[in-house]
Amino acid sequence: MKIEAYKSFGPVKFGMSETEVVNQLGKPVSIRTNNENELEYYYDELIVRYDANSKHVREGTLLPQILGRFQVNDLTLNWKDDLFATLCQRDGDPYEFYGYIVLFKLGITLTGFHDGDDSQKAISAFRSGDWDQLKGDMKAFKSL
Protein backbone atom coordinates (compact mmCIF):
# COMPACT_ATOMS: atom_id res chain seq x y z
CA MET A 1 0.00 0.00 0.00
CA LYS A 2 1.21 3.49 -0.78
CA ILE A 3 0.43 6.68 1.12
CA GLU A 4 0.66 9.85 -0.94
CA ALA A 5 0.70 12.92 1.30
CA TYR A 6 -2.69 14.63 1.38
CA LYS A 7 -3.89 12.65 -1.65
CA SER A 8 -4.47 8.96 -1.00
CA PHE A 9 -3.69 5.71 0.78
CA GLY A 10 -3.70 2.70 -1.49
CA PRO A 11 -6.55 3.04 -3.97
CA VAL A 12 -8.53 5.31 -1.60
CA LYS A 13 -8.43 9.05 -2.24
CA PHE A 14 -9.39 11.68 0.31
CA GLY A 15 -12.92 12.88 -0.37
CA MET A 16 -14.22 9.57 -1.77
CA SER A 17 -17.72 8.47 -0.79
CA GLU A 18 -18.52 5.25 1.08
CA THR A 19 -19.74 3.68 -2.17
CA GLU A 20 -16.53 4.56 -3.99
CA VAL A 21 -14.42 3.04 -1.20
CA VAL A 22 -16.45 -0.19 -1.16
CA ASN A 23 -16.05 -0.39 -4.94
CA GLN A 24 -12.24 -0.17 -4.46
CA LEU A 25 -11.74 -2.27 -1.31
CA GLY A 26 -14.83 -4.43 -1.06
CA LYS A 27 -17.14 -4.82 1.89
CA PRO A 28 -15.52 -3.95 5.24
CA VAL A 29 -15.11 -6.56 7.98
CA SER A 30 -16.99 -4.23 10.35
CA ILE A 31 -18.38 -0.71 10.57
CA ARG A 32 -18.39 1.46 13.70
CA THR A 33 -19.17 5.02 14.70
CA ASN A 34 -16.45 6.69 16.78
CA ASN A 35 -16.72 9.34 19.54
CA GLU A 36 -16.71 12.11 16.95
CA ASN A 37 -19.69 10.56 15.14
CA GLU A 38 -17.51 9.52 12.21
CA LEU A 39 -18.06 6.25 10.42
CA GLU A 40 -15.09 3.87 10.52
CA TYR A 41 -14.84 1.03 8.02
CA TYR A 42 -12.56 -1.74 9.27
CA TYR A 43 -10.63 -3.93 6.87
CA ASP A 44 -7.97 -6.46 7.90
CA GLU A 45 -5.06 -4.02 7.88
CA LEU A 46 -6.78 -0.70 7.32
CA ILE A 47 -9.35 1.59 8.91
CA VAL A 48 -11.08 4.16 6.68
CA ARG A 49 -12.65 7.14 8.49
CA TYR A 50 -15.34 9.34 7.03
CA ASP A 51 -15.96 12.97 7.95
CA ALA A 52 -19.06 13.20 10.19
CA ASN A 53 -20.49 16.09 8.16
CA SER A 54 -19.62 15.38 4.54
CA LYS A 55 -19.54 11.55 4.85
CA HIS A 56 -16.42 11.49 2.66
CA VAL A 57 -13.00 9.95 3.42
CA ARG A 58 -10.90 12.06 5.77
CA GLU A 59 -8.34 9.56 7.12
CA GLY A 60 -6.87 6.12 6.59
CA THR A 61 -5.04 4.12 9.25
CA LEU A 62 -2.61 1.34 8.42
CA LEU A 63 -2.24 -1.32 11.09
CA PRO A 64 0.81 -3.57 11.68
CA GLN A 65 -1.08 -6.54 10.22
CA ILE A 66 -0.36 -5.20 6.74
CA LEU A 67 1.81 -7.72 4.97
CA GLY A 68 5.13 -6.91 3.37
CA ARG A 69 6.30 -3.48 2.43
CA PHE A 70 4.41 -0.23 2.06
CA GLN A 71 5.28 3.27 0.91
CA VAL A 72 5.02 6.74 2.33
CA ASN A 73 5.46 8.99 -0.67
CA ASP A 74 8.73 7.74 -2.25
CA LEU A 75 10.00 5.90 0.85
CA THR A 76 9.51 2.11 0.98
CA LEU A 77 9.21 0.61 4.48
CA ASN A 78 8.37 -2.54 6.39
CA TRP A 79 6.83 -2.71 9.89
CA LYS A 80 10.03 -4.45 11.02
CA ASP A 81 12.19 -1.53 9.84
CA ASP A 82 12.97 1.32 12.20
CA LEU A 83 10.21 3.19 10.47
CA PHE A 84 9.50 5.57 13.36
CA ALA A 85 12.96 7.18 13.33
CA THR A 86 13.11 7.02 9.54
CA LEU A 87 9.78 8.82 9.11
CA CYS A 88 10.57 11.46 11.77
CA GLN A 89 13.92 12.15 10.11
CA ARG A 90 12.39 12.27 6.63
CA ASP A 91 9.76 14.76 7.77
CA GLY A 92 12.33 16.81 9.67
CA ASP A 93 9.81 18.71 11.82
CA PRO A 94 7.74 16.27 13.94
CA TYR A 95 5.22 17.41 16.53
CA GLU A 96 3.68 15.60 19.48
CA PHE A 97 0.03 15.92 20.48
CA TYR A 98 -1.68 13.66 23.04
CA GLY A 99 0.21 10.52 22.05
CA TYR A 100 0.29 11.25 18.32
CA ILE A 101 3.41 12.20 16.43
CA VAL A 102 2.23 14.46 13.62
CA LEU A 103 4.39 14.69 10.51
CA PHE A 104 2.94 17.54 8.48
CA LYS A 105 5.38 17.27 5.56
CA LEU A 106 4.49 13.58 5.08
CA GLY A 107 0.78 14.00 5.85
CA ILE A 108 0.77 11.24 8.47
CA THR A 109 0.52 10.60 12.20
CA LEU A 110 2.26 7.84 14.12
CA THR A 111 1.01 6.25 17.35
CA GLY A 112 2.39 3.56 19.64
CA PHE A 113 6.00 3.85 18.44
CA HIS A 114 7.57 6.47 20.70
CA ASP A 115 5.83 5.38 23.89
CA GLY A 116 6.31 1.61 23.56
CA ASP A 117 2.59 0.85 23.28
CA ASP A 118 2.64 -1.91 20.68
CA SER A 119 -1.14 -2.33 20.86
CA GLN A 120 -1.55 1.24 19.57
CA LYS A 121 0.96 1.08 16.70
CA ALA A 122 -0.50 2.63 13.59
CA ILE A 123 0.23 5.04 10.78
CA SER A 124 -2.58 7.34 9.73
CA ALA A 125 -2.75 9.37 6.54
CA PHE A 126 -4.80 12.53 6.91
CA ARG A 127 -6.27 15.06 4.52
CA SER A 128 -4.89 18.55 4.20
CA GLY A 129 -5.90 20.91 7.00
CA ASP A 130 -7.09 18.30 9.52
CA TRP A 131 -4.38 18.97 12.10
CA ASP A 132 -3.55 22.58 11.22
CA GLN A 133 -5.85 24.20 13.80
CA LEU A 134 -4.16 22.19 16.60
CA LYS A 135 -0.56 22.94 15.65
CA GLY A 136 -0.32 25.85 18.10
CA ASP A 137 -1.08 23.45 20.96
CA MET A 138 1.53 20.89 19.88
CA LYS A 139 5.05 20.45 21.16
CA ALA A 140 8.00 19.95 18.84
CA PHE A 141 9.02 16.29 19.11
CA LYS A 142 12.69 15.60 19.55
CA SER A 143 13.06 12.42 17.51
CA LEU A 144 15.47 9.65 18.33
Pairwise CA distance, residues 114 & 101, whole Å: 8
10-42 pLDDT, tens digit each: 999 999 999 999 999 999 999 999 999 999 999
Tell me the pLDDT tens digit for each residue of 67-108: 668 899 999 998 877 889 999 999 999 999 998 999 999 999
CA 1 to chain centroid: 12
Q: Please, are residues 3 and 9 in contact by the beta-carbon 8 Å criterion? A: yes
- C-beta contacts of 72-80 below 8 A and 24+ residues apart: 72/2, 72/3, 72/5, 72/106, 72/108, 72/123, 73/3, 73/4, 73/5, 73/106, 79/121
Give the range among 35-39, 50-54, 80-84, 134-138 with minimum mean pLDDT: 80-84
| Residues β-bridged to residue 50 | 57
